[in-house]
Chain A
Amino acid sequence: MQHRRQNTPLLKVAYSIAVKDVWAEFRSKELLSAMLLFALLSLLVFSFALELDRRARAEAISGVLWVTVAFAAILGLNRSMALEREQGCLEAMLTAPIPRSAIMYGKLAGNFAFALIVGLILLPVMTILYNISLISLPLVGVLAAGTLGLAIVGTLLSAMTAQTRSRETLLPLVMLPIALPIVIAAVRASTGLLSGADSEVWGAWAAILTAVDAVYFVACSLLFDFVIEE
């Protein structure tokens, strides 16, 4: 067997890592079940806590959606990177001739998929619980952009905090302030959509959300190599 001098192609590695994450989750059902259970319980608590009139509820509902999605995503992100660390699998990956950023893109794809699945399940559940239709294509688009942003920031930060002893508490502490622009833009865009506001209003917030995603993606891609090496 000839040994190559070059790294294995980035996309091939990223794809393999993402497929591995999805397949391992399909086998263990550890991550999604915890995220879903947490999200559904949170929704129930919110629905009892917010005994509001219909208009007030319409204004609060996007906040409820994004708080639930953000915390469920953090739960999944923590576990996803912990699984890599527990048996030293991350180190095994780091000894392979692969571009370091491929680990970020692969983990990001898996984290995004899990967070989006949870978000998509929440939409019909919230429609029933809050008696307001949340099933619309633009809202799914905003949900996708928001969860992508959370997954981008969370993948980098979970790689950092997974090396510490108090990673479970540290990740939300460092992630929430950094993810604030994503959450604010996602809440504003969702509120505009649900209240039937002009498309220019929610469209502007959706554009801001996309721009924030792009900035974070570039920044996290540049930083990941340094974070993961030592």
Chain B
Amino acid sequence: MSRPIIEAQQLSKVYGALPVLRSIDLAIEKGQFVALLGANGSGKTTFLRLLAGLTKPTSGALRIGGWEFPKEAAAVRAQIGVVGHQLLLYPALSARENLRFFARLYNLSGRAAEARIDALIERVGLGLRADDPVRTFSRGMGQRLSIARALLHNPHILLLDEPYTGLDQDASAMLDSLLQEAYAEGHTIIMITHGLDRAARLANRAVILSRGKVALDLPTAGMDERLLAAQYAAALQTAEGIRG
């Protein structure tokens, strides 16, 4: 059996005197679509920021794609694409200029990079607006471009932090299909969401965090929203009850 693409062992993060993540043990296999669930303040974003290489663990070990973080940070970062609730794009630059800039940060340039940029712009349905400034885009268009930016270097892992924030139904449906495509292509996806319906529909595994610990880790295959909601409520109740 191959090694998990993400391995967290006794991973903890403390801000000042406040423990945000407490000894998390988690292994995520290549190609999984994991929904990261939990109440506000449960440590989801901090966990995702650790995986994205944006913050360092206070203690514990984190290996991504076989590379140790933060020791081999460059190798870890090269395998990760991030989509947030912010667009992570420059409003004054056009869609193409944004992708070109971020491509250079991943050492991609020349014809291959241009071809990749063109293909991604077409894939996210922005072919006709490729040379328009991002500030003229709707929230949905911006988020689609954000996905294209995250996929530029063809990362093994896609990290998404509440990517559906502020999207209308059509834009959400488009984002759903883009994520399903990325999943079908074999990308490992970890997505923070508060939408249990979406978690049940898109993901094949749900990890529920509570007070910085994994309260429940379960497969979601064949699970509908109601069943997941029941499991979610029970897990939180148990976790809160145990810790007091």
Contact = CB atoms under 8 A, between A and B. Distances in A.
Interface string A1-29: 10111111100110010001001110110
Contacts of B149: 92
Contacts of B90: 20, 24, 83, 87, 89
B156 A92 contact: no
A89 to B, nearest CB: 6
Contacts of B78: 3-5, 97
Interface string B67-91: 1000011110111101010111111
Contacts of A16: 101, 104-105
Interface residues of B, number: 38
Interface string B140-160: 000000000100011110000
B56 interface: yes
A89 B86 CA distance: 9
A95 interface: yes
B105 A3 contact: no
A153 B105 CA distance: 25
A88 interface: yes
B92 interface: yes
A94 B106 CA distance: 11
Interface in A118-153: none
Interface string A75-97: 00000000100011101111111
B74 A97 contact: yes
B53 interface: yes
Contact of B84 (A4, A28, A91): A91
A97 B89 contact: no
Contacts of B107: 4, 8-9, 12, 97
Given A13-B104, A13-B105, A27 B133 contact: yes
B217 interface: no
Interface string A155-176: 0000000000000000000000
Interface in B87-134: 87-93, 97, 101-102, 104-107, 133
23 contacts: A3-B65, A3-B153, A4-B74, A4-B107, A5-B67, A5-B75, A7-B74, A13-B105, A24-B92, A83-B90, A87-B88, A87-B90, A89-B88, A91-B86, A92-B82, A92-B149, A95-B80, A96-B77, A96-B106, A97-B75, A229-B55, A230-B55, A230-B56
Interface of B: 52-56, 65, 67, 72-75, 77-80, 82, 84, 86-93, 97, 101-102, 104-107, 133, 149, 153-156
Given A3-B65, A3-B78, 10 more contacts: A7-B74, A27-B92, A27-B133, A30-B92, A87-B86, A88-B86, A92-B88, A94-B53, A97-B105, A98-B105
